Amino acid sequence: MDVNGKVAVVTGSSAGVGRATAELLASLGAKVVVNYAHSEGDANEVVEAIRAAGGTAHAFQADVRNDEECRALVESAVDTYGALHILVNNAGMTHFIPHERFDLVTDEVWEDTFGVNVKGTFNCTRAAAPHMQRAGEGAIVNVASIAGVRGVGSSIPYAASKAAIINMTKSTARVLGPEIRVNCIAPGFIDTRWLQGGLGERYDRAKEAAAERTPLKAVATPETCADAILAFIQLNTFVTGQTVIVDGGSSL
């Protein structure tokens, strides 16, 4: 799919991987809806950066846990730009809880994590699918994590939610073809503000250790993840239901 002139919704795109993806798509001519749940200022900054570079974008607030808000998000894209061709399900959250601390994993933790990561991915996919079918083509890319493959990461609920996204990618790819392709990326350690905030003073040490055990001697960045997402949208036109691990080989 040539993204030039296409319409894209990128959830959770006020920072990190979402922002890098929104900016990359816009630089290639896509019209982008920058979604945020809480960070309005950051989202507006992304839109301003895209417009300053000659691209087309607007921001839209929606909590992906809420089906009505997901539908409104998609309708904003269609009403503004006339169609929808691309959806990147990037919105995600976690609670940083050591895996052995079962006592800290409350019902609220499960509901928060699965609500955004799993239910949100499904809600947005369901809202987007009819419009992509009407357009005659569509590409959906979900953002999971190596946590969903290896059972590692910030918490057990987070790892379980990312495994669910990988599984959902297969299910939705099976039923949404041939018009819509659904794929997934599973990044490892990503150099982001989000992870830095979660790890705090442990961040630099964790980043160094992750890079050291990786064959490419580096960690992922929002930009390298955006490149992998773009490949699924623009280049891998006969691939669906697949997950690519973006971790520089650290999980080998």
Q: What is the mean pLDDT of residues 193-212?
A: 80
Catalytic residue among 36, 81, 158, 203: 158
Examine the pLDDT at 201 and tell me if it is beyond 90: no
Q: What is the pLDDT of residues 144-197, one digit of tens each?
A: 999 999 999 899 999 999 999 999 999 999 999 999 999 999 998 888 777 777
| Domain spans of the chain, in order of start | 7-246
What pLDDT is stored for residue 86 in this prediction?
98
Known catalytic membership, residue 81: no
Q: Give burial (CB, 10 Å; 0-12/13-18/19+) of 211.
A: middle
Smallest CA-to-CA distance from 170 within 183, 153, 180, 187 is with 183
CA geometry: angle 20, 44, 227, nearest 5 deg: 10
Examine the pLDDT at 198 and tell me if it is beyond 80: no
Is 7-246 CATH 3.40.50.720? yes
Would you list the DSSP string of 206-241? HHHHHHHTSTTSS-B-HHHHHHHHHIIIII-TT--S
Q: Give burial (CB, 10 Å; 0-12/13-18/19+) of 250.
A: buried
- Quote the pTM value: 0.95
List the single range of 18-27, 94-103, 185-194, 195-204 with lowest mean pLDDT. Answer: 195-204
